Amino acid sequence: MHTGSVTPFGRRSMTLGMLANQVMARKIKPDQSVDKWKLFRALCEAKALLGIGDRALAVLNSLLTFYPKNELAQENGLVVFPSNIQLSLRTHGMAEQTVRRHLAALVEAGLLVRKDSPNGKRYVRRDSAGEIDEAFGFSLAPLLARAEEIEQLAAAVMAERLHVQRLRERITLCRRDIAKLIEAAVEEEIPGDWQGLHREFRDLIEGLPRSPTTAQLELLLDELTALRTDILNRLENQVKSTKQRGNANYIERHIQNSKPESISELEPSFETKQGAIAEPDNDRGSLTAAKGRGETGHPFPQKEEEQSRRPGVRNDGGGLKSFPLGLVLQACPEILAYGPDGLIGNWRDLMAAAVIVRSMLGVSPSAYEEAANMMGPENAATVMACILERGGHINSAGGYLRDLTRRSEKGEFAIGPMLMALLKANGQGRLKVG
């Protein structure tokens, strides 16, 4: 049976909410205790759900500093009785009127209960031994009674925050994927309404409010995921289509051929001296051996000076002579399957196809870049087309290309004999330059 006063002092009215809080505060389990600072951290996490703000938490923090123990427990007493002046000092100079307003907010939120004295003052009455007999002020009993509830609310807030953080991370990854996939599709000139997809992407991002809710983030993630899946399906279909247009037999032969034949007939102009052997490509662990066979072994005995006077032949990067695109495609028809829509109509298409072939044959970007810098981009693409044409006879396409680059730098390599050998191998005796 309750024997103390249950109504507030002065003009403050009594409410059923206050009475409910007092009833709840008396429902403390036997021997229940809680670390006051751990509980305060949980309160800081759950403040939005409890309906209190930062300033009210600052006042509650100062009240807890007046509680002498670290553990809130019934046996230690749960009433603190500082004056408003003391509270103002411990809240770093907060105005007394503001302190009173936030104390009322804490009471209304059910975190404090007023235990008012007959005259409304806060004080303590002690016994002859100096122990507290009765105290008037603010009871912290609601904090102890609601400790489990407060910790659960804090855990829910932290889980929600982590969920939102992960949503934002996944949205960021989706945004990055979509932007780069669209960019790659445009650069590779893949057919499709990429501008329309980009506008749809921008509309989704710009439609998000400045401070979105969790539901809005989840909806955006679903829409971005669907858009990314659509783009990936389009690109994967394009890759499958490109592979289907390629020469499947060549791919199988390229993978399975572990004992390639000599490649000297592919590039007969490599010889410098009778019987000379090329140095190994240490970077790729491959050895490119080419025995010189003299003029009698050359499939096209005419000299380079004569070749350079052929119609349509011009000098390009690295001092190499470039040949007409039509001649290159006659000698290397397999490169056609890797052009846009299976066609190569200009040098740009050939260079784009060479990049795909480079990746397929395992040639590193640095090796191809060195070749393009030394030979010129058109000649490098031509060489890649030749390597593709005779891929089944080459152990390491990357090492072979690096060897050609070094020979080009020394002036020991020409593209003409390579193309002529391939034309002869393809059974095209008469050259059709176009």
pLDDT in tens, 39-86: 999 999 999 999 999 999 999 999 999 998 899 888 777 888 898 899
Query: Strands 132-139, 123-126: parallel, antiparallel or unpaired by DSSP?
Result: antiparallel
pLDDT at 121 over 60: yes
What element of type H or E holds 95?
Answer: none
pLDDT of 157 reads: 93
CA distance 195 to 201: 10
Q: Which of 136, 178, 153 is nearest to 52 (CA)?
A: 153
pLDDT at 30 over 80: no
What element of type H or E holds 320?
Answer: none
CA distance 217 to 208: 8
pLDDT of 308 reads: 38
- Mean pLDDT of all residues in the chain? 77
Q: Which of 281, 254, 276 is nearest to 388 (CA)?
A: 254
Tell me which residue has tokens 């003052």: 121
Residues 6+ apart with CB under 8 A from 298: 268, 269, 417
Q: How confident is the model at residue 119 (pLDDT cuts 50, 70, 90)?
A: low
pLDDT at 161 over 70: yes
Q: What are phi and psi of 214, to 5 degrees?
A: -60, -40
pLDDT in tens, 323-332: 888 889 988 9
CA distance 283 to 345: 35
CA distance 253 to 215: 54
Mean pLDDT of 16-25: 60
CA distance 194 to 207: 20
| Inter-residue contact 179 to 199 (CB < 8 Å) | no
pLDDT of 339 reads: 85
Torsion of CA 171, 172, 173, 174, to 10 degrees: 50
Mean pLDDT of 384-404: 87
CA distance 113 to 2: 15
DSSP-derived secondary structure letter, 3: -
Residues 6+ apart with CB under 8 A from 88: 94, 95, 96, 99
What tokens appear for 376 in the block? 């010129």
Query: Strands 132-139, 113-115: parallel, antiparallel or unpaired by DSSP?
Result: antiparallel
